Amino acid sequence: MRFSVIAGPRQRPDLGQPAAEAWRLYVEDAVRAEELGFDAVMVGEHHFTFASGTSAPLVMLAEIAARTERVRVGTSVLCLPFHNPLRLAEDIAAVDVVSNGRFDLGVGVGSQYEEFETFGIPPEERFGRTWEALDVIERCFSGEEEFTHEGRYFRFPNVRWILPPVQERIPIFWGGFGPQGVRRAAERGYHLIASDVTGVYERTMRELGRRPEEHYVGFVTMVSVGRSRDEAWQAIGDAATWVNNVYALRRGLDGTLPPESSRIEPEALREASEQDRRIALFMPVADTVEGVLERLLPMARGERGLITHMGIEFRPPGTRSEDAVRSMRLFAQEVMPVLRAEAATARPGPGASIGETTTAK
C-alpha cells in the first residue's frame, strides 16, 4: 500500500490568503510528509479557476524535490490537453533529474470550462489530444536519439532528444473513471489515480496476464484527525465544503451553469460524510484516530475493491496550518502503520519495479 499526500495547492482569496503564503505552506507539507514517512507527494493542476490545483505543478515539484531526498514527487494530475507534449516532456525529464529519479507522471484530460475556453482548446478534443500527447511523451523517453512525430494534433519533425530522465521508465498514472480511458490505461500498463469503480481496470489487466494488485490504484480522500469528531470536522468542514462547491457549481464543458440548488451546505456534507453517502465529489473523513481507522480499514483490506494507493489530502484550501499539521502527524503515527499492516496481510503490494526506489540509467 502506498500512502501519498495529495494536494490541491490553491489560496483562498475569500479569506484574504495570498498565493505566496499558500505555496509556501504546501511545500512545507511536502517536506513534512517525507519526515513523517509518507511514500509520495503529488500536486494537481488547474488554470484560470480556483479548482484545486496549481497552474505550475512542475515548478512546485522541482522545489519539493530539491528539499527532499526520499519521498517520490508526482502530478495528480497534469491536464494534458493544454500542453505542448514535447516541451512538457523536457520539463518532466528535468524534474526527474532534480529528484534523482523520483518523479511520477499523473495525467488527465482536464475538467474546467475556463481552461478550455481561455486556451482555445475544444473540449471534444480532450481525449484525443491527451492520448496523442502521451504517445509523444513516451517516445521522448524511449531511448531514441532522433525521431519525427506526425499526428492529428501535433507535428514534430526531427526531434533530437538530449535530456534523458534518470528513470528507465517514468511511472504514468491515469486520472479518470470512465471505462474507455481506464481500459486503455490498463492496456498501456499505467497506474490509476481513481477507484476502479467499474472493475474494468482489474479485468483488463488480468486478461493481459498482468497482476493489477502490483499497480497503484486509488483515489484521493480528504482526512482530518482530531481528539474528537467535532474537532476534526471543525478543522476541515469549511475547506471541504468550499472545494466541493467549486466543483458542484462549475460550468459544464458546454458553458452552462448548474442550478444554485447544486450548492452543498456544510451540515449536509458533514451528515453525508458520517453516513458514508456520496453526495459530493470529495467526501471528507473527519474523526478521531479510531474513527478514521474504522472508515479506512475496509479499503486497506480490499473490501471495497482493489485499492493499493491511498492519496490523502490534509490541507484543502483554507485549512489552518495547526489543523493540517496535527492531522498529518496523527495519521502518520497512529493510522498509517495500522493500515499498512492490514494491507500487507490482505495482498502483496506494488514493488520496487514500479517506482518504490530509483532506477538509474
pLDDT at 319 over 50: yes
Fold of 2-354: TIM Barrel (3.20.20)
pLDDT at 308 over 80: yes
Q: What local confidence, expressed as pLDDT, does residue 302 receive?
A: 92
Q: What local confidence, expressed as pLDDT, does residue 351 receive?
A: 53
247-253 mean pLDDT:
96
pLDDT at 167 over 50: yes
Work out the pLDDT band at 278, boundaries 50, 70, 90. Answer: confident
240-248 mean pLDDT:
96
Reading the block at residue 199, the C-alpha cell is: 472493475
Q: Among positive and negative, which fits the CA dihedral 216, 217, 221, 223?
A: negative
pLDDT at 18 over 50: yes
For the chain, the average pLDDT equals: 94
Query: What share of the chain has pLDDT > 70, as a percent?
Result: 96
pLDDT at 148 over 90: yes
213-238 mean pLDDT:
97
The residue ranges of every structural domain in the chain are 2-354
User: Which parts of 216-320 fold into alpha helices (H)?
Assistant: 229-248, 266-275, 289-300
Q: Say which DSSP state 308 is in.
A: -
Give Cβ neighbours of residue 49 (< 8 Å, ≥ 6 apart).
Answer: 112, 114, 115, 246, 250
pLDDT at 230 over 70: yes
Q: What local confidence, expressed as pLDDT, does residue 350 receive?
A: 65
Work out the pLDDT band at 329, boundaries 50, 70, 90. Answer: very high
Q: What local confidence, expressed as pLDDT, does residue 354 receive?
A: 47
- The whole-model pTM stands at 0.94
Cα(220)–Cα(238) distance, rounded to whole angstroms?
Answer: 18
pLDDT at 61 over 70: yes
